[in-house]
Structure 1
């Protein structure tokens, strides 16, 4: 006959299961208290739940509350978010002050979120966090402060690059200057192109480039343009007046064509008269 000692592992497993069942009963009790307090009759009526400051380490599946829009789980001990599989209507989610270290695969489907609080957790990977959140195009308020990922040198610019819809980040309004800096940081080539162009023509910074570039511009331009360039090359300088003239000659040529209606006979004329119309012509107008 087996001794009691040989059954010790099974006893531990049974004790763990008992604690788990007790915890789930406690969790359900907390939820039922909230439902009763708010006067909800059916699961489909539940639009908000406050489960903050309950010492929760885990949360049972909340998929049955399909119309849930506001959920508070702040100031608990939650380490993973695997209970929101079908809560697609969530607009506000408060997970601040927990023990989250990774949210990969947990929140990306919650594209209706307007407010997301993740501050005061243990999130370390900024890129992984942004990959999880970048599909939330409706997100306006986001808090990530007091996480290790906040120590990234380009933290704020990275967040604004991946989540351009955010207006309030870590309790601070997002400024236009920050958005421009984020764009310049992550799109340096496009920024250089934009800065070198102005309404269809090069700016003065390009006009004051090397003499070789000035010569090539002169060969493509009119005789007057070439004369200005040669004079400028001899003096190794370009005056302000020459810059203005050069820029004028570098503008794109505009051209449009219209029909010359003066060559067409009017219908009110007497057709018995022998009068022949000139051949219809197209008039082309070209200007800079």
Structure 2
């Protein structure tokens, strides 16, 4: 660990998690943690790092089902070159556990289509809109800043449906029950 910087690099060590004794001793001090080029799949050990604001997990085995504790201090998350296949599940997890996330990089994951992994331009744009709509605190996604135009379009496309009044809702539910009896 570099004194004063509170930065810890454990890259290229074939780790599946941070060793408990190291996490226990230094975890509360670390602000930047680089675990690139390891075999990490489960991030529950991150609960030992409450001050981490930057987490780099490039080239690991992170999937959409990753277990991730609450990381309210996390601002930057890099998960490039992992095994994330289901965007909805992954984004739901990080939007819940990382409420202050501003910088996210997911390049070269199946869930993040681009020219580099066989995705079309439209798939890439849709990916950006979806992620931006679900993580409103984002300032940058992958290698591009989030623009105000993108944010407006993401909100327009993925905005939550307007709740109907109770009266309309009751009559709609009754109509649904009637139609389901006939199907």
Normalization by structure 2: what TM-score? 0.71
1:56 aligns with 2:56: no
Structural mapping, 1:213-228, within 5 Å: none
Distance 1:188 1:111 in 2: 24
Question: What whole-Å deviation, never above 9, does each CA across 1:27-82 have from its counterpart, x for those lacking one?
Answer: xxxxxxx4xxx46xxxxx99321111223344323244213211011122223223
> What secondary structure does 1:142 align onto?
strand
1:134 aligns with 2:95: yes
> What secondary structure does 1:149 align onto?
coil
Residue aligning to 2:30? 68
Give the deviation of 1:103 after TM superposition.
4.7
Give the deviation of 1:189 after TM superposition.
6.0
Give the deviation of 1:187 after TM superposition.
2.3
Question: What whole-Å deviation, never above 9, does each CA across 1:81-114 have from its counterpart, x for those lacking one?
Answer: 232123221100000111212454314x001111
Residue aligning to 2:41? 79
Distance 2:84 2:68 in 1: 13
User: Aligned residues, how many?
Assistant: 148
Say if 1:103 and 1:86 are closer, same or farther in 2 by CA, change over 3 A.
farther
**Given that residues 81 and 103 in structure 1 are in contact (C-alpha distance below 8 angstroms), is that contact kept between their aligned partners in structure 2?**
no
> What secondary structure does 2:8 align onto?
strand
Distance 2:65 2:84 in 1: 8
> Which residue, 162, 166, 170 being the options, matches 2:138?
166
Structure 1 portions without partners, runs of 5+ = 1-33, 40-44, 191-288
Structure 2 portions without partners, runs of 5+ = 114-118, 163-183
**Given that residues 133 and 159 in structure 2 are in contact (C-alpha distance below 8 angstroms), is that contact kept between their aligned partners in structure 1?**
no
Residue aligning to 2:80? 119
RMSD, matched Cα: 2.4
Say if 1:113 and 1:58 are closer, same or farther in 2 by CA, change over 3 A.
closer
Residue aligning to 1:205? none
**Given that residues 90 and 112 in structure 1 are in contact (C-alpha distance below 8 angstroms), is that contact kept between their aligned partners in structure 2?**
yes
The structure, 1 or 2, with the larger RCO (C-alpha pairs under 8 Å, 6+ apart) is 2
**Given that residues 114 and 139 in structure 1 are in contact (C-alpha distance below 8 angstroms), is that contact kept between their aligned partners in structure 2?**
yes
> What secondary structure does 2:112 align onto?
helix
Larger Rg: 1 or 2?
1
**Given that residues 53 and 76 in structure 1 are in contact (C-alpha distance below 8 angstroms), is that contact kept between their aligned partners in structure 2?**
yes
Residue aligning to 2:178? none
